[in-house]
Chains A and B, each alone.
Chain A
Amino acid sequence: MAVIEGRNLRKTYTLSRRNEVRALRGVDVSIEAGELVAIMGPSGSGKSTLMHLIGLLHSPDQDHGPAPELSLGGRDATRMSDGARTRIRAREMGFVFQQFNLVPTLTAVENVMLAGEYAGLGRRQARERAIARLTTVGLAERATHRPSELSGGEQQRVAIARALVNDPALVLADEPTGNLDSHRSAELLGLIRKLNREHGQTFVLVTHDAEVGAACDRIIRMRDGLVQAMELVREPTPDDVGEAAA
């Protein structure tokens, strides 16, 4: 079953009356439950923009061309209110960004708790879950450190713990390894791979990095605001699909 179904997705940024950037020019995309998908392409090709639409951070253009469709687990997301989209982001999605991912005044565990509280957990429950997720990413001992006391790789692992705290069906990551050296990057990727296999969560990774792409199930290649190609890296095993459905 598809977690995300998008059709005719367009996004134009208007910088001034004369200066428009057509970041997405009509994209169809479908992401299956349990998939680990990479979105790749040159800088400026619209990868982040696509992720922002999927993540309900922006809405697709409605005012020109064929009507866009965006459904999330069967719900039409094209005309949702800000409140409804915020709620879905809080409860059903996890986000990881390239950098400056964490709130600097909060400790690692408080950063993770934040997402739990946004999803409606009480403080105590949020804390328990946050510690469990920090343990999953191997950072339990760093729980009370501030972001400034953590390395880049550790910060990204905290961000992943935060993205996972509500067991979301969909985790969206925009260049999560962009600021890491190849060793840290491989480590983080291994963790994502493992979570995807073990928990059947769907991951969409925006990346530049061919090695990251190669570790995914599928690559969506973008160019100039369009999907240029879909590449199946490996067939999902019946085992994966079974886990995802469970």
Chain B
Amino acid sequence: MSLLRNLARRRLRTALTVTGITIGIWALVVFGSMANKISAIVAIGSDYYAGKIVVTDKSGGLDGDSPMAIALVDDIAAIGGVAAAVPGVSTLLDPASNSGISMPDMVVGALPGADHGKNMYDARVAQGRALTAEDADSLVAVLGSDLARKLGKGVGDTVEIRGMAFEVVGILEPTLTAPDTTAIVPLAAAQAIYLGDLPPVVRENVRADQLATDITVYPDAGTDVEALAARIEAAIPNASAMTGAEFDGVVGSSVAIFNAIIVGVALISLIVGGLSVINTMAMSVAERTREIGIKRAIGGSRARVIRELVSEAGLIGLLGGLLGLGLGAVVVYLANEAGRGSGMALFLLTPQTAIFAVLFSTILGVVAGIIPAWSAARLDPVAALRYE
């Protein structure tokens, strides 16, 4: 009660200090949500790559969709240590709407059963069923959760992809990552779609069933995966073989950069916010010197003086934290809503991030308040009473 009155004494100054913290915490929340999202993607990717080697053509573009001859599947399968090699096709669902920054909608061609049960990664099906080997020649599709929502399709509906009508047989559970915006169709259908993406010169010289964009290799039990990847790269011209460990390494370093940015934002808000709280509280103490003298003279203990000022500083931090969290949550929500139309939501605001942000700013306020509070408590009450 008197805490709030003290803050209200210098409204503008309090408001400016709170604003400073708000901005810092806002940035922390937004960057933190982005980092959460990336970590979730990485975790799923890491699961996906675990125990397998994904071979692509390294002359290709960013999406890894340069064509590979399906004949390579047999060449790879012949390499020692390979238990199974499965061709796959992935391409844009709609080449006209490539959104650039976020994850685009994809069509992925799958050959169920070809992995001989080696694939440990499975995106769980929420409704309907997964594709089976019997679907090989049918036009059926399993949709990611975001894609199903965006298209407004459920199990049993018909969805048109590049002029072909697919029956939706299943919807995946949300993963918060790439599978959410993916349509999984039988390999043959994906190959047909992919053929249409190729430049006319190339198109005329290949058949759809000769095409793949990637080949997933499942090593024999006990095989050194890295060594096998090296053998594949040596044997197959232009091949790039990505193992789980490599994926973790490549992606891990970009995650590390991101985490460094977040730590940087946290540090900057720590320094700026902390200094402005120290400044505000030091000014408050100077203005209230006489009052502190009175309180000490009539029997207020040092601990009590410290407690009052530190709570005031903590309250400034808490207010800034809550406002920053609120603003950050609004930005995250709006950005995700905007992102849903074109592709993936970019941010993931977890309860941990929210709690951390508010705790962080409150503790920041408290810690920054300790210095001026301590000096106030050390004041000689008589000198404080005489202070002009």
A residues touching B (Cβ–Cβ < 8 Å)? 52, 55, 57-58, 82-83, 86-87, 89-91, 93-95, 97, 100-106, 110, 114-115, 118-119, 162-163
Q: A115–B299 contact, CB under 8 A?
A: yes
A118-B304 in contact (CB<8A) = yes
Residue in B closest to A106 when the chains form the complex, CB atoms: B2
Cα of A187 to Cα of B105 in the assembled complex, Å: 87
Across the interface, name the chain A residue whose C-beta is closest to B387: A100
Give the interface size bracket for B toward A.
20 to 34
For B297, the chain A residues whose CB sits under 8 A away are: 55, 57, 89, 95, 97
Is B283 part of the contact surface with A, judged by Cβ < 8 Å?
no
Sample of 12 further A-B pairs with CB below 8 A, known A83-B301, A86-B302, A89-B298: A57-B381, A58-B380, A89-B297, A90-B299, A95-B297, A97-B294, A97-B385, A106-B5, A114-B298, A114-B300, A115-B298, A118-B304
- Give 6 A-B contacts (CB < 8 Å), ordered by A residue: A52-B382, A58-B380, A86-B299, A103-B295, A105-B6, A118-B299
Chain A residues whose CB sits within 8 angstroms of the CB of B294 once the complex forms: 97, 100-103
Distance from A217 Cβ to chain B, minimum over Cβ atoms (Å): 25
B-side binding surface: helix, strand, loop or mixed?
helix
CB-based contact A110/B291 at 8 Å = no
B296 beta carbon closer than 8 Å to chain A: yes
When the two chains form their complex, are residues A58 and B382 in contact, meaning their CB atoms are under 8 A apart?
yes
Contact residues of B between 270 and 310, Cβ < 8 Å to A: 290-291, 294-302, 304
Query: In the complex, A206→B144 CA distance in Å?
Result: 85
Please provide the chain B residues from 1 to 58 with a CB less than 8 Å away from any CB of chain A in the complex.
Answer: 2, 5-6, 9
In Å, the complex CA distance between A90 and B304 comes to 13
User: Taking the nearest CB of chain A, how far is it from the CB of B10, in angstroms?
Assistant: 11
CA distance A118 to B298 in the complex (A): 8
Per the bound structure, the CA–CA distance linking A82 and B299 in Å amounts to: 11
Task: Compute the total of residue contacts between A and B using a CB distance below 8 Å.
Answer: 62
Q: In the complex, what's the smallest C-beta–C-beta distance from B6 to chain A, in angstroms?
A: 6
Partner of A100 from the list B5, B290, B381 (CB cut-off 8 Å) is: B290
B296: chain A residues within 8 A (beta carbon)? 86
Instruction: Given A105-B2, A105-B9, A110-B2, verify A87-B299 contact (CB < 8 Å).
Output: yes
Which residues 352-388 in B have Cβ within 8 Å of A in the complex?
380-382, 385
Residues in chain A near residue B300, CB distance under 8 A = 86, 90, 114, 118
Q: Please, which residues of chain B bring their CB within 8 A of the CB of A82?
A: 302
**Which residues of chain A are within 8 angstroms of B302 by Cβ–Cβ distance?**
82-83, 86
A100 to B384, CA, bound (A): 11
User: Cβ of B290: which chain A residues have Cβ within 8 Å of it?
Assistant: 100
Q: Cα distance A118–B5 when bound, in Å? A: 20
Interfacial chain B residues near A83, Cβ < 8 Å: 301-302
For A118, the chain B residues whose CB sits under 8 A away are 295, 298-301, 304
| Contact of B2 with A95 in the complex, beta carbons under 8 Å | no
Q: How far is the CA of A104 from the CA of B8 in the complex (A)?
A: 13
The 3 closest A-B pairs by CB, nearest first: A90-B299, A118-B299, A89-B299
CB-defined contacts of B5 to chain A, threshold 8 Å: 105-106
Does A90 contact B2, Cβ atoms closer than 8 Å?
A: no
- State the CA gap A118–B295 with chains docked (Å): 9
Which residue of the partner chain B has the closest CB to A98?
A: B385
> CA separation between A87 and B9, bound complex, in Å?
30
Q: How far is the CA of A57 from the CA of B296 in the complex (A)?
A: 9
Given contacts A57-B381, A58-B382, A106-B2, contact A86 B301 (CB under 8 A): yes
The CA-CA distance from A83 to B304 in the complex, in Å, is: 11
CB–CB A104/B299 < 8 A: no
Contact indicator B299/A91 (Cβ below 8 Å): yes
- Report Cα–Cα, A86/B300, bound state, in Å: 7
Kindly provide the distance from the CB of B9 to the nearest chain A CB, expressed in whole angstroms: 6
Whether the pair B299, A103 counts as a contact (CB closer than 8 A) is: no
In angstroms, Cα B286 to Cα A99, docked, is 18
Residues on the B chain within 8 Å of A86, using CB? 296, 299-302
In the bound assembly, the distance between CA atoms of A93 and B298 in angstroms comes to: 8
Bound form: Cα–Cα A95–B302 in Å: 18
Partner of B291, one of A55, A57, A95, A103: A103
A114 to B299, CA, bound (A): 9
Residue of B nearest to A52 (CB): B382
| Bound Cα distance A12, B94 (Å) | 89
Residues of B near A104 (CB, < 8 A) are: 291
A103 to B297, CA, bound (A): 12
Which of A87, A118, A119 neighbours the largest number of chain B CB atoms within 10 Å of its CB?
A: A118
Cβ–Cβ < 8 Å partners of A87 in chain B: 299, 301
CB <8 Å contact, B298 and A90: yes
Q: How far is the CA of A109 from the CA of B2 in the complex (A)?
A: 13
Q: Are A119 and B299 in contact (CB under 8 A)?
A: yes
Q: Which residue of chain A has the shortest Cβ distance to B303 in the bound complex? A: A83
Closest approach, in angstroms, between the C-beta of A163 and any C-beta of chain B?
8
A89 to B302, alpha carbons, bound, how many Å?
A: 13
A97 to B6, CA, bound (A): 23
Q: Once bound together, how far apart are the Cα atoms of A89 and B296, in whole Å?
A: 9
List residues of chain B with CB within 8 A of the CB of A163.
Answer: 298
Instruction: Select from chain B the residue with minimum beta-carbon distance to A55.
Output: B297
Which residue of chain A has its CB nearest to the CB of B385? A97
A residues in contact with B382, CB < 8 Å = 52, 57-58
